[in-house]
Amino acid sequence: MTFARDSYRSVVVGAGIVGLFTAYHLAREGGGPVLVIDRGFLSSGSSGRNGGGVRQQWETRATVRLAREAVAAYRRFGREFGFNIWFRQTGYLFLAENAAELARLRSVHALVTSEGLSSQVLDADGVARFVEGIAPGASVGGTYLASDGTLYPFPAIWGVHEAAKSLGVEVDLGVEALGVEVRNGRVAGVLTSNGAVTAATVVNAAGGWSGEFSRRAGLEVPNVATRHEILATEATKPFLDPMVVRASDGLYFSQSMRGEVIGGVAVPHRPGTARGQGSSPTFLGAMARALVGLLPRLGALEVLRAWSGFYDDTPDGFPVIGEDPRLPGFVHANGFGGHGFMLAPATSRRVALSVLGQPTDLDPAQFSPVRFLGPAAPATAERLQLG
C-alpha cells in the first residue's frame, strides 16, 4: 500500500475521534490535502473503548464551556453526519459518600450553574429516586445535570470518518508514525511504517501513544498513558437512566441503549502501553464489589466482557492543544485524559485553526503545549477525571 500523494498540507497521526474530527475541520477550513494515519484499525484505540459518557460537570470553567459546545455538537450529529449515535441526554449523577465529597460536588454545581446549566443538588432520597435499588446509606447525596448523557461511540467514529473522507481526507490504517522530518527547524514531513511523506504540519492526535510520538519528534512532554479497564454485562430491560459516577473510587456506570450495564472503576496500573489493552482479575473483582455494594441486585447480573484502553494523562488534567513553539509545524491535540470523546467536537475546530496559523480563544495557561516547561506548576487543574 502506498499513499495517494507524496505531499500533504497536514498529516494527522491517530484516527480516533480527536484525529478524525481534526481532519474533518481541517478539510472544511481549506487546510487540505489531509492524510490521517493510524497504527491500528478504526476504533482500535480509546475512541472505541470508552463508556460513551458526555458530561458538562467539571471543576474548571474552561472545561465546562468546551463540554457544553460538545454536547450541542452531538445533538446535531445525526443530522450533520448521517449516523445515529444514540446520544441520550438522561443525565450524569455524581454521588457523594460523605460530607466532604458533597461539598466538592456543591462547588462543581455552583460553577456549572454559573455557566447557565441547570444542575441540581440531591439529598440521599433524591439519589435513590434516580438509582432504583441503591443500598441504604451508600450515598449522602449528589449532583445531577439532566443535559449530560451517553452516546454509542462507534457510529460517531464511522460518521466523522465518512464525512472526512467525503471532503477528500485520506485515511490510511495500519500505518504507524515513526517520527517527523525536520528541516530548518520546522516540520517538513512524517516518517511512517509506510515510507516518508512531505507535510508542512503534523497533528499529534495519537491518544495513549501521543507522548511516545512527541518524544520520537524530540519533544519532551509530560503525557503519560494510563490503562483503565471497563466491563459490560448482559442486557436487561431499562432500570437506570443516568450515568452514575462516584468520585471517591472512580466508579462509573450507565445502562446502554441495548440494556447492558457498562462501566469501570479505578484500579492501580503500571504506567505505559506495554501491558496492552487487556483486562485483569483485580479489576473484575474491584468492579464487581463496587457495583454490588452500591446496587445489590446487580449481583444476579452477569458480566459479558471486559476490556481496557488508555487515558492520555497530563499533570494538570487539561488537554494539550496547539502548535508546539519548540518545533513549528508540530501541533498537539492530545492529553485528553480519557475525555477525548467528550471534548473533541469542541476542541477539534480550534486545533484546525491553529494548524492554519489562526488564533484561538483557548487560554495558553491551560492548554499550551509548553505550560509545563516553566518552573511553576500550572495554576489551575481539572481533577474531576473519572467517569
Which residue ranges make up the site for another protein (CB under 8 A)?
Answer: 41-44, 48, 75, 78-79, 82-84, 86, 88, 133, 154-155, 158, 162, 165, 227, 233-239, 257-259, 267-271, 275, 278-282, 284-289, 291-293, 296-307
> How deeply is 144 buried, as exposed, middle or buried, from its count of CB atoms within 10 A (0-12, 13-18, 19+)?
buried
SS (HEC) of 135-197: CCCCCCEEEEECCCEECCHHHHHHHHHHHHHHCCCEEEECCCEEEEEEECCEEEEEEEECEEE
> What gap in Å lies between CA 184 and CA 50, rounded to an integer?
40
CB-nearer residue toward another protein: 237 or 376:
237
Three cell numbers, residue 315: 499533570
**Do 294 and 138 form a contact (C-beta atoms < 8 A)?**
yes
At closest approach, how far in Å is the CB of 107 from another protein? Answer: 29
**Do 23 and 12 form a contact (C-beta atoms < 8 A)?**
yes
CB-nearer residue toward another protein: 14 or 322:
14
At closest approach, how far in Å is the CB of 43 from another protein? Answer: 5
At closest approach, how far in Å is the CB of 48 from another protein? Answer: 6
At closest approach, how far in Å is the CB of 222 from another protein? Answer: 16
> What gap in Å lies between CA 105 and CA 127, rounded to an integer?
13
> How deeply is 173 buried, as exposed, middle or buried, from its count of CB atoms within 10 A (0-12, 13-18, 19+)?
middle
Residue 207 gets the label, from left (phi > 0), alpha (psi -120 to 50) or beta, of left
At closest approach, how far in Å is the CB of 251 from another protein? Answer: 13
**Do 13 and 337 form a contact (C-beta atoms < 8 A)?**
no
> What gap in Å lies between CA 211 and CA 220, rounded to an integer?
8
At closest approach, how far in Å is the CB of 80 from another protein? Answer: 10
Nearest to 311 by CA among 230, 371, 231, 374: 230
CB-nearer residue toward another protein: 58 or 77:
77
At closest approach, how far in Å is the CB of 287 from another protein? Answer: 8
> What gap in Å lies between CA 103 and CA 99, rounded to an integer?
6
At closest approach, how far in Å is the CB of 320 from another protein? Answer: 22
